[in-house]
Each structure stands twice: as structure tokens, then as C-alpha cells.
């Protein structure tokens, strides 16, 4: 590509839930990311713009925003891939309260991880020898399949069931619960199965797969939730929960 590229027309959400989009003109560059665009506005056009990011390399998961209608990790999303005729509309993640501008409140997203018992419950103390875990067992493979979740909230923002049912634990928390359910070192499975079997749990998922389509780590929450459905049904039939 040669010559100067036409400027981008960038509409950014400003304010809280009752805010509105405001449009900025941003110089276009090759290999520019959506996060580069937001950063340009904050540094050169309006220092009051609020947004969140950390690593800029797709590890921390904090930079997710709604870009031209879809939730995306902005540090790894190239403008060339998503700009529609040189236009970008960038808003806060859906299904989460807006704090200000592009920053959402993630408290309820992480509270649901706690509700799903999606945190490790150790079966040994620090004084015990380390448990030998074979990497090739079916359980370990199931656990490893979703271990790379970066907690970005993109699946949660994309999920229609979260939108309709505020009690729904959501794809990220349920995927982590599935990972731990398959972790042989963990001892919290009865409480976890009870937690994910309730009305806001895995059985509320309608398998739409929006979570799977948009997960930047190419994880498959739909499959993890299907696993939880099978395991909770089996536990119920056996009288374990």
C-alpha cells in the first residue's frame, strides 16, 4: 500500500448508560489496531475519554469493547479487518453496566465465577507431595481445552441468554467450572455441580454458540456447557446432587 490513507470516522460511546456516540476523525495507518484508534483519541483529541487496557498483546483480556456491533479484543483486532467503509463504531461491552465511556463494570461478571464455584478447591495442602497428573487422560484433556481463558468477557457480552436472564452465570464462569470439574487435583465438585445445576446454571444455555464464534482464544464454551449438562444430569440421577 502506498500514499496517505483516508482518515477514519470513529464514533465512540461517551458517558454512562444514557450517553451517546460522539464522532472523531482519526488518521489511518497500516497495521493499526482498534485499541490504537481509541488511544489516539484519548491522547490527541479528548483526554477525558475512559477506556481499559493493559498488556496490548492479547494476554490480560481487559481491552474488550463492542466494535461495529460485535464484542472484540481491541488490541488484537486490526482496523483493516473490521472498519466498514472507513467507519468504526466503538462502544462498551454489552450485558455489563457502563461505568463511563468504554469502561464497563466487570464486578458482576466475576461474582458469577464465584457463584459457579469456578475457583480451585485444593484436595491437598502445601505440605503434601505434588499430585502426579498425566497430560493425556480424557479428564486432563477436557480441562486443558479451556485453560487459556483470559477473562475478557467477550462471550458474556455476546450471549443472548445473559441478556434475557440476569441470573444466568454465563459462558465464561461455566467454562471455568467445567475445567475444574475435570481437574483431578480439585475437591469441590459436589458443590460445583450443585451451583451450576440451578435455574441460572448450565441448563439455561440454548446452545446459540455466539460465545464460541467470538471467543478470541478459540475456546468452545458451548461444548463445555454441554459437558456440564451431561454431568449434572448424571449426578442428579445418581442422587449425588
Q: Count how many residues are written for the chain.
A: 241
Helix (H, G, I), strand (E, B) or coil at 36: helix
24 or 72, CB closer to ligand SF4?
A: 72
Binding of ligand SF4 by 196 (CB under 6 A): no
Question: Cell numbers 454489552 correspond to what residue?
Answer: 94
Q: In the bound complex, what is the minimum distance in angstroms from residue 73's beta carbon to ligand FES?
A: 5
Distance, CA of 142 to CA of 90 (rounded, Å): 35
Binding flags for ligand SF4, 104-143, as an x/- string (CB under 6 A): ----------------------------------------
The entry of ligand SF4, ligand FES, none that residue 232 binds, CB within 5 to 8 Å by partner kind: none
Q: Does 146 bind ligand FES (CB under 6 A)?
A: no
Burial of 213 (0-12, 13-18, 19+ CB in 10 A): exposed
Nearer to ligand SF4, 153 or 200 (CB): 153
C-alpha cell at 27: 488518521
CB neighbourhood size of 233 (10 A): 14
Give the footprint of ligand SF4 on this chain (CB under 6 A).
149-155, 158-159, 161, 171-172, 175, 205-211, 215, 217, 219, 221-222, 225
Amino acid at each position: 500500500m502506498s500514499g496517505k490513507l483516508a482518515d477514519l470516522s470513529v464514533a465512540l460511546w461517551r458517558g454512562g448508560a444514557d450517553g451517546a456516540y460522539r464522532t472523531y476523525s482519526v488518521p489511518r495507518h497500516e497495521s493499526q489496531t482498534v485499541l490504537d484508534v481509541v488511544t489516539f483519541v484519548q491522547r490527541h483529541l479528548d483526554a477525558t475519554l475512559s477506556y481499559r487496557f493493559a498488556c496490548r498483546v492479547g494476554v490480560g483480556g481487559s481491552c474488550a469493547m463492542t466494535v461495529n456491533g460485535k464484542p472484540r479484543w481491541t488490541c488484537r483486532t486490526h482496523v483493516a479487518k473490521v472498519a466498514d467503509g472507513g467507519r468504526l463504531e466503538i462502544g462498551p461491552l454489552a450485558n455489563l453496566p457502563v461505568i463511563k465511556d468504554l469502561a464497563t463494570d466487570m464486578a458482576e461478571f466475576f461474582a458469577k465465577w464465584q457463584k459457579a464455584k469456578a475457583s480451585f478447591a485444593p484436595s491437598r495442602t502445601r505440605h503434601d507431595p505434588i499430585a502426579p497428573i498425566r497430560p493425556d487422560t480424557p479428564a486432563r484433556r477436557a480441562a486443558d481445552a479451556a485453560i487459556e481463558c483470559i477473562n475478557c468477557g467477550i462471550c458474556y457480552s455476546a450471549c443472548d441468554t445473559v441478556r434475557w436472564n440476569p441470573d444466568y452465570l454465563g459462558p465464561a464462569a461455566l467454562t471455568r467450572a467445567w475445567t475444574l470439574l475435570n481437574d483431578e487435583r480439585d475437591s469441590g465438585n459436589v458443590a460445583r455441580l450443585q451451583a451450576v445445576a440451578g435455574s441460572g446454571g448450565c441448563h439455561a444455555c440454548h446452545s446459540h454458540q455466539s460465545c464460541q464464534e467470538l471467543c478470541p482464544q478459540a475456546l468452545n464454551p458451548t461444548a463445555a456447557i454441554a459437558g456440564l449438562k451431561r454431568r449434572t444430569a448424571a449426578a442428579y440421577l445418581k442422587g449425588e446432587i
